[in-house]
Amino acid sequence: MNITELSVKRPVTILILTALLTGLAAFMVPDLAVDLYPSVSPPYISVSTSFSGAGPLEVEESVTRLLEKQLSNVTGLISLNSTSSEGNSRISMEFDYSTDLDDATNDVRDSLERVSRSLPDDAGSPAIFKFNLANRAIMTLIVQGEETPDKLKTLAEDTVQPLLERLEGVSSADVRGGNTKIIKVDVSQSRLEAYNLTLSQLSSALSARNIQSGAGSVSKDGLEYTLRVDEKFKVLEDIRRTVIATLNSDETTSSINRSRVVRLEDIADVYEANQDVSSIVYVNGSPSISLSIQNESGSNVVQVADTIINALPEINQELPEGISLSILYDNTTMIRNTLGQVYKAALQGAILAMLVLFFFLRNIKSTLIIGLSIPIALLITMMGMYFFDLTLNMISLTGLILGLGMIVDNSIVILENIYHYRERGAKLEPSAILGSREMVTAIVASTMTTLCVFIPLIIWKDNLEMMGQMFEDMIFTVVLSLIISLVTALTLVPALSSHYLKLDSRVQKPLKNRVLILLDNKLEKFLVAIEKGYRRALVFALGNKALILTLVLVIMVISFQLFGTLGMNLQPRPRTDDSVRISLTMPVGTSLERTELFIQEMRQIVEDEVEGYENLILNIGSSGGGGSNSYTGSIEITLPPVGHQIDTPSDIQNKIRPYLNQFPEATFAFSAGRWMRTSSAVDIEIYSNDLDLASKTALEIRDLLKENLPQVEDPISSMEDGGPEYRILIDTDRASALGLDSSTVASTIKNLVDGQTPTTFWKNGTEMDVLVQLNSENRSSLSDLESQYIRGASGQRISLTNVARLVETIGPKSINRENETRVLHVTAGLAEGVAVTAIQPLIENLLETAYIVPEGVRISYGGEAKEIERFSSPLMVIIIVAVIMVFAVMASLFESLVDPLIIFFSIPLLLIGVVLVYKITGEAFSIISAVGIVVLAGIVVNNGIVLVDYTNLLRHRGADVTEAVLNAGQSRLRPILMTSLTTILGMVPMGFFPGEGTEFIRPLGQTIVGGLAVSTLITLFVTPVMYSLLNSHRKVKMPRRMRKKVDIEVQG
């Protein structure tokens, strides 16, 4: 008793098992983590080392080169990139995707321990970080109210932040913006000199005065009294009255007059003020306090966002009247909308598949059977995702949609054959058993061929790097859904059709309604006419084999030639988003005030031109992504949900770009669209040890691209123009003779200009730093700096100009190195619709003909073009191995080398449809499209398998080759059309009507629809022709299990 017969004989068992699994899955699916893209962990490790006070050149020489030399020997290392900037060295290490990052981290740590003693004394200990794509904000909240910015910030830090971080799934809530109150001690240079004092003495006195400590205990009257010194500053007056020094006096009296002590108020102004800001944030024109929320790793971001939204009323109750906490930007809105579009595409595909089945069979019960198999297979698949810690994301849902069309294929083949037996008058149970058993080989073969194409994708996924990691989720969902669909087709479908949804044809239950009879007859005549028309066409094809094969061969050759003309991108570059960021970079050294002026002018343009935006968020002193530079800024335009936007991100870019010429000093860059960026579309690498020459070359190439290639958008150089600086050159011999060292000179100057924070002051429960520095009048010019004094070892005051001189120069802001060589990058994006492979030759030709590369500079090309070239080899290997495995599976199942060869010819035919669909749509080919071709290799053979399997069955029953081919073609036309149409129509919504935000997966749908549609049409003729050619003088050798099956049928 085989599995189909067991299912028919034990229908209750099958039903109960299915119900239990489906019910269990229904409880687990809501807990599936949700995200836009799969959770991938790129094999990157970074090492950050601080070197306070050192410039980029010194950091490179003393820290970066030393660490690079040691780290370059770590096992599994692919590339080593570094950035040396002011006071910091950051080294990024890329490993092979098969590397265990925990082991690599241990190797890196061991290497750092061996070299850490050789680092400069002022350098910090190297810190190791792993790259994590999940570290991004899921939501931004804003605190508003009728209070000063510093009080709002205090409320955010002391009240709102702790409440948010207690919520389930919230990892952190970072407070940004606002003012921080400090106590400023503005010291007068003239008074400091008059009293012969230094800033260090002021700081030491403040630190020594502001103490609170225990001093032991004493006994009195049998009680223990704790002794405590409490000289903490209570009010500002305590700070002002701090004694800094005592004037010399010959008196020996115990009394000290006020005139004999120097207090802080004698030489400095002490007051409460706002800390000098290095960045400013405006929301809709007003300074703001925002909280950036990050979720815990592995959590359901949508559920976390809902938890925060539900908690807002309760948190607002904790705030003073007039203060509110609200949502500024919800990053999960885009995730919800995008996944909603994918859900919609899946539902549309399922409905279309059921309509196709109803059209061909015109039987409600058969449609319900297929309709039940879809959610059952999908729910159990998602339960498997739950157990394997996969997220419900765009890629895994794409796998479910892809599986959706193939889920019903097996059930359709089985159900159609059972229906065929019922039309011949067979009873329910024999129809279910024989109809299922007859198609077992065909559906097992078709499922196995589809599954095996994913094996090389799994084996070589590390060679596809990030793309391979991403498609792991899709592979899992497709493979699991196909296995479940196979089991469902062999068990649930026979059980339902024979017992619970008894399948009746027009023989058992003829229609009684005249209108329905008329419609049914019309449809049946239409389908019969198609079958007869196909038979006539097939007769012509069998009579003109040479013509048909020549015609197909010519079309294939033309398709191969046209394929070379298709533009190619690494991946789609969707610009759909619910926000747009305009980043601005001014010349290095531009003040924060001047940068703000430019940002505010750009804000006015945005307000005048852009329609339908929700919020304008201005970041001045940063690009909105972290870090702080006075010459950078950004405008973030938040938009309504996708589908409700008046101006889309593309519209906004087109409206704003014409205004950029009004700001010749500034460099702008637009960013919108969420996709897994792996590299820039255009990347020109410039190698040279001469930083000035390399920087000049980079700027010239950048300008050349701007002037000559309008298809190239926002070209920028990774080397910012050098910033103006004064380099302090210390006369070390003279300094040593006066009892000074370089470190003392450097730290003294830093304290004079930037100030010191020797202690803190508490006010109303809030701790504030006490900042001691020269007042602004004494530190605003070069002459002020040159007039400073440094205290020598013996206490004497030494003029700065006596031991050092100041030289005006231009210094690099950062120095980039790749694989221990200095390198600069000129990167750019591409205009919408422009393919990388089309623009790259133009760029290379432009530089060859219009630019002379200076001596000492070497240029090479990276970016997407280089990655496409790198991925081409593993993709070809994957496709070739997939095709070989398909052939091997078919040969094993048919126990023949000829039959698989016949079916094998349908694989190259898919390229005709693929080329056709991309030529019609005008879109570029991509790696996603190539993955679609791999999947197609396992799908397109299914129709050939059904045809060849049934043709062999007819020949075994005694039919000659021509008769068997014609009858098999006519008999199997309906199931072939049904299975093909369900897969095609299931992918049509995703490929051609994907909805906003799902453009990333569109090429997969287009590739499968185009390839399968054309391949199915041609296969219906090529496969019978090839079968007739190769089997005209060959007897059919069938597997033993098939011979046994046919014998049973004949005997029955």
Q: Is residue 736 one of the residues assigned to a domain? A: no
Q: How confident is the model at residue 742 (pLDDT cuts 50, 70, 90)?
A: confident
Q: Is residue 625 one of the residues assigned to a domain? A: yes
Pick from 750, 734, 924: nearest CA to 830? 924
Which residue in the block uniquely carries the two structure tokens 């239950």? 509
pLDDT at 1039 over 60: no
Measured distance CA(224)–CA(477) in Å, rounded = 74
Pick from 570, 562, 569: nearest CA to 916? 562
Measured distance CA(179)–CA(153) in Å, rounded = 7
Measured distance CA(834)–CA(681) in Å, rounded = 10
295 pairs with which residues across the strands? 170
pLDDT of residue 1049: 40
Show the tokens assigned to 708: 């000559």
Other CB atoms closer than 10 Å to residue 452's CB: what's the count? 20
Look at strands 137-145 and 323-330 and give their pairing: antiparallel
Q: Which domain holds residue 617?
A: 575-671
Here the CATH number for the domain that contains residue 116 is: 3.30.70.1430
Q: Is residue 459 one of the residues assigned to a domain? A: yes
pLDDT at 597 over 70: yes
pLDDT at 1045 over 80: no
pLDDT at 1047 over 50: no
Q: Is residue 791 one of the residues assigned to a domain? A: no
Other CB atoms closer than 10 Å to residue 432's CB: what's the count? 31
Phi, then psi, of 231 in degrees rounded to 5:
-115, 30
pLDDT of residue 255: 53
Look at strands 170-177 and 289-295 and give their pairing: antiparallel
SS3 304: helix
pLDDT at 841 over 60: yes
Number of domains observed in the structure of the chain: 5
Residues 786, 699: contact at Cβ < 8 Å?
Answer: no
Q: How confident is the model at residue 1036 (pLDDT cuts 50, 70, 90)?
A: low
pLDDT at 133 over 70: no
Question: Residues 45-91: pLDDT tens digits?
Answer: 999 998 876 778 888 888 999 999 989 888 888 889 998 887 889 99
pLDDT at 506 over 80: no
pLDDT at 642 over 80: no
Pair 325, 471 in one domain: no
Pair 14, 97 in one domain: no
Pair 236, 118 in one domain: no
Pair 609, 527 in one domain: no
Question: Nearest 10 degrees: CA dihedral of 376, 380, 385, 388?
Answer: -170
Pair 300, 449 in one domain: no
Which residues are within 8 A (CB) of 112 and not within 5 positions of it... i.e. 6 or more apart? 47, 67, 70, 71, 126, 128
Q: Is residue 56 one of the residues assigned to a domain? A: yes
Here the CATH number for the domain that contains residue 158 is: 3.30.70.1320
Pair 123, 236 in one domain: no
Q: Is residue 741 one of the residues assigned to a domain? A: no
Residues 694, 857: contact at Cβ < 8 Å?
Answer: yes
Angle at 140 between CA 135 and CA 144, to 5 degrees: 150
Other CB atoms closer than 10 Å to residue 268's CB: what's the count? 25
Look at strands 766-774 and 181-187 and give their pairing: parallel
Question: Residues 456-474: pLDDT tens digits?
Answer: 888 888 888 777 777 788 8
pLDDT of residue 132: 61
Q: Is residue 834 one of the residues assigned to a domain? A: no
Pick the most confident of 332-336, 698-702, 800-804, 978-982. Answer: 698-702
Positive or negative, the CA dihedral 273, 278, 283, 285 is: positive
Pair 89, 190 in one domain: no
Strand order in the sheet with 181-187: 268-274, 181-187, 766-774, 756-763
Q: How confident is the model at residue 739 (pLDDT cuts 50, 70, 90)?
A: confident
pLDDT of residue 540: 92
Pair 395, 518 in one domain: yes
Percent pLDDT > 70 in the chain is 93
* 0.95 exceeded by pTM: no
Residues 723, 813: contact at Cβ < 8 Å?
Answer: yes
Q: How confident is the model at residue 627 (pLDDT cuts 50, 70, 90)?
A: very low
pLDDT of residue 1046: 39
Q: Name the strand (E) or helix (H) holding 456.
A: helix 454-459
Question: Residues 421-454: pLDDT tens digits?
Answer: 888 888 888 888 888 887 887 788 778 888 888 8
pLDDT of residue 554: 92
Q: Is residue 1019 one of the residues assigned to a domain? A: yes
Look at strands 723-730 and 756-763 and give their pairing: unpaired
Last residue of a domain, one of 671, 702, 729: 671
Measured distance CA(232)–CA(207) in Å, rounded = 10
Pair 420, 493 in one domain: yes
Pair 174, 314 in one domain: yes
Pair 906, 933 in one domain: yes
Last residue of a domain, one of 656, 671, 686: 671
- Mean of the per-residue pLDDT values for the chain? 82
Buried b (16+ CB within 10 A) or exposed e, 198-234: bbbbbbebbeebbeeeeeeeeeeeeeeeeeeeeeebe
Which residues are within 8 A (CB) of 197 and not within 5 positions of it... i.e. 6 or more apart? 244, 245, 262, 267
- Count of all residues that appear for the chain in the document: 1052
pLDDT at 1052 over 50: no
Mean pLDDT computed over 583-589:
80
Question: Residues 318-368: pLDDT tens digits?
Answer: 888 888 898 888 878 777 777 777 677 677 777 877 788 788 878 788 888
SS3 425: coil
- 962 vs 180, residue with greater confidence: 962
Q: How confident is the model at residue 715 (pLDDT cuts 50, 70, 90)?
A: confident
Pair 143, 124 in one domain: no
Mean pLDDT computed over 923-937:
85
Last residue of a domain, one of 627, 642, 671: 671
Phi, then psi, of 685 in degrees rounded to 5:
-95, 130
Residues 431, 503: contact at Cβ < 8 Å?
Answer: yes
Q: How confident is the model at residue 842 (pLDDT cuts 50, 70, 90)?
A: very high
Pick from 694, 817, 719: nearest CA to 67? 817
Lowest-confidence segment of 266-270, 350-354, 385-389, 446-450 by average pLDDT: 350-354
Please write down the HEC assignment for all residues of 199-262.
Answer: HHHHHHHHHHHCCEEEEEEEEECCEEEEEEEECCCCCHHHHHCCEEEECCCCCCCCCCCHHHEE
Q: How confident is the model at residue 298 (pLDDT cuts 50, 70, 90)?
A: low
